[in-house]
Amino acid sequence: MSTSSPVIVALDYPQMTPALELAASLDPGACRLKVGKELFTAAGPVLVERLQSMGFEVFLDLKFHDIPNTVAGALRSAASLGVWMANIHVSGGRRMLEASVEALSGVSAPPLLIGVTVLTSMDTQDFRELGFGNALPEQVLRLAALAKDCGLGGVVCSAQEASILNEQLGSDFALVTPGIRPAGAAQDDQRRVLTPAEAMAAGSSYLVVGRPITRAEDPAAALHAINESLQLSL
């Protein structure tokens, strides 16, 4: 089921059962779902199929980063699952990015392919420790421009970088922003965060929200509150 909500709920669980229980409490018309490394490693493709059978569109968040041929093959497998979105690390370089786009070119209903720029768990100190000489926002823009040039449909970035990316790369280039925290919510291990309304105003296309929904006493109510804060009636 397609939805007009930009919210993607992150199912960051170690096992299938709690993920399915959470999904069962949500309306597929009010959000999409994200399956990441921990959950997919534990549950595999069957979980994706179960979520899709419940009506949800699925973002398969495995952040592929390997030699071009390996990543291309992994994306073909992801496409065969019918996922709505998949991602790769832009830092894998042009040949890997172009091989990824080519791998999906013959798929009848390919997933939206997006690239990871700089992880939102990183701040300036973390970035400098890795030896990068340029500023963190500059590196995000550089990687996002490379992703667009190679034919990707968008990038994962911090909502704090969404405004400049939207301005430089155009509104048709999707910006998927983790690190979204409703006002008053704990920041947890994210560093570069904004509220849902702030992120959308900055130019975000999709908002990844995990613990503020999944750890809420009433996840459906928490999701509804976020959609309502975006003035969406679903």
Catalytic residues, by residue number, are 63
Integer Cα distance of 183 and 60 in angstroms: 27
Q: Is 63 annotated as a binding residue?
A: yes
Helix runs in 91-135, H state only: 94-104, 124-129
Q: Is 8 annotated as a binding residue?
A: no
Residue 139 token pair = 């590196």
84, 58 Cβ separation under 8 angstroms: yes
Strands 58-64 and 85-89, by their bridges, are parallel
Q: Is 69 annotated as a binding residue?
A: yes
Q: Is 66 annotated as a binding residue?
A: yes
Q: Is 32 annotated as a binding residue?
A: no
Integer Cα distance of 147 and 93 in angstroms: 9
Integer Cα distance of 144 and 117 in angstroms: 6
Q: Is 120 annotated as a binding residue?
A: yes
Integer Cα distance of 5 and 230 in angstroms: 9
Unique residue bearing structure tokens 């750890």: 215
Query: What Å distances lie between residue 172 and 146, 149, 154, 195, 205, CA to CA?
Result: 15, 13, 8, 22, 9
Q: Is 211 annotated as a binding residue?
A: yes
202, 163 Cβ separation under 8 angstroms: yes
Q: Is 51 annotated as a binding residue?
A: no
Q: Is 94 annotated as a binding residue?
A: no
Q: Is 231 annotated as a binding residue?
A: no
Annotated binding-site ranges: 12, 34, 61-70, 120, 181, 190, 210-211
Annotated binding-site ranges for substrate: 12, 34, 61-70, 120, 181, 190, 210-211
